[in-house]
Amino acid sequence: DQQVKQNSPSLSVQEGRISILNCDYTNSMFDYFLWYKKYPAEGPTFLISISSIKDKNEDGRFTVFLNKSAKHLSLHIVPSQPGDSAVYFCAAVKKSSGDKLTFGTGTRLAVRP
């Protein structure tokens, strides 16, 4: 049972434009959500998180939006840069489960110069 889903395996965006990565979840008991970025042959790197009681969190070029009624979150990157090209994973956490991460399958972002 895939509790966290990223339905777009890949996304290509022009440098300077906005990248929007989407994530859906099925479990309404998740307490917070995170986005991780992963380069080949490296471990995931934390980008940004959002509590389930918020609907937006912003950090520099990265903004995460949460729509609890739709069980949907999105990561906006603006402006996109070639160095943003990587695989992005959405993850969800239930605090009662030891804060373990439930990951989506990832979206590969390619930012074209």
- Helix or strand run (H / E) with residue 88: strand 86-93
Interaction between residue 4 and other proteins (CB under 8 A): yes
Among 11, 15, 22, 31, binds other proteins (CB under 8 A): 31
Site stretch for other proteins (CB under 8 A), options 11-19, 60-68, 70-78, 97-105: 97-105
C-alpha dist (Å) from residue 109 to 1, 13, 15, 28, 48: 25, 8, 11, 27, 16
- Which residues would be at the binding site for other proteins (CB under 8 A)? 4, 6, 31-32, 34, 36, 41-46, 49, 51, 89, 91, 93, 97-106
